[in-house]
Structure 1
Amino acid sequence: MNLFQLGQQYQELADRDDLDPTLLVDTLDSIQDAWNEKANNIAKWIESLDADVEWLANKKRSISDELTYRKNLRANLMTYLTSAIDDRGLKEVHTDDYILRPRNYKQRTVIDNEGKVPAEFKHTNEVVAVDKTAVYKALKGGAKVPGAHLKPNRKTSIK
């Protein structure tokens, strides 16, 4: 076998998707090659995988950033649309394609300062955390909870 064929064997191995650790070792052991050539090809393969991992990590970060951007843009557009309809005093807007109806959803519990929230609203699993459900119920019932408040959650349904 010449060097090109051996490189081809490694490339065929790299292109496989079914390589578990045992199969990989067995297949590499079955390749008849001088140790230095085998080590050289494996090192090339590792460098190729390093480049793939770096590219995928950057792609993942890019996709995550794009997802965050689009979620934030959607929230900003929803806030603008709801405010614009409310400012005009309309209960419903009919466009060519949609019916837009602003409505109130369950208020959001906002924790301004965890340190001020009384211990009765905290739970401990492995870390101490505020039980937002308990805080919501207390605030909704008219109780005062230091360090927390309810925030209106008004959005427009699009049909």
Structure 2
Amino acid sequence: MKLFEINDAIKQIMDKDDLDPIAMKDTLDALELTRDEKLDSLAAVIEKTNSEVTFLKDKIRKLTDQKHFAENRINNLQEYMTGILDEANIKKLQTKNHILKPRNYRDKTIVSDGEKLPQEYKIKEEVVKIDRQKIYQDLKDGKEVAGAHLKPNRKTTIS
């Protein structure tokens, strides 16, 4: 029996006046036990899924850190290798597995202090943000806001 069917059956039994009180109690107890077991199972699934989400968030953070470490390592090794080849004035080096050729790329633009830059080098961007707090308050106060509405947000706490 599904949870909603159990709830409906409990309501129907409660609405009947002609049932024997002992039979009614036994039936309600059986239905409530079934419902409670199913709800307990749902709570266990939610807790397990929350644990998985936490695990995945931690895993993503660790993998992101590993990625940044690997990218920094590549950059440092590239700079080191290029420095060695430049110091030896080598334009091209054939090794057993690779051909190494230092070359010039477009210079990097480094901005050490953005406050000191003249205004001509600054771009003003306008960012439009939605004031959800104001929308919420206006809707709660009974005002109509085109393009927005309140949606009930009910959840069950599990402890």
Common fold by TM > 0.5? yes
Note the C-alpha offset of 1:62.
1.0
Distance between the aligned counterparts of 1:84 and 1:31, measured in 2? 77
Distance between the aligned counterparts of 2:77 and 2:106, measured in 1? 20
- Report the equivalent of 1:108: 108
Distance between the aligned counterparts of 1:110 and 1:37, measured in 2? 63
2:101 is paired with a residue whose SS is: strand
Distance between the aligned counterparts of 1:98 and 1:28, measured in 2? 67
Note the C-alpha offset of 1:35.
2.1
Distance between the aligned counterparts of 1:108 and 1:28, measured in 2? 63
Higher relative contact order (CA 8 A, sep 6+): 1
Q: Runs ≥4 in structure 1, deviation > 3 angstroms?
A: 27-33
Note the C-alpha offset of 1:107.
0.4
- Report the equivalent of 1:134: none
- The aligned length equals 102
**Which stretches in structure 1 are left out of the alignment for 5+ residues?**
2-26, 128-159
1:125 is paired with a residue whose SS is: coil
2:36 is paired with a residue whose SS is: helix
Structure having the higher Rg: 2
Equivalent residue runs for 1:6-17 within 5 Å: none
CA RMSD in angstroms comes to 2.3
Note the C-alpha offset of 1:104.
0.7
- Report the equivalent of 2:48: 48
Q: Measured at CA, do residues 112 and 31 of structure 1 come closer, stay the same or move farther in structure 2, by a change above 3 Å?
A: farther
Distance between the aligned counterparts of 2:66 and 2:86, measured in 1? 30
- Report the equivalent of 2:125: 125
Distance between the aligned counterparts of 2:37 and 2:66, measured in 1? 43
- Report the equivalent of 2:86: 86
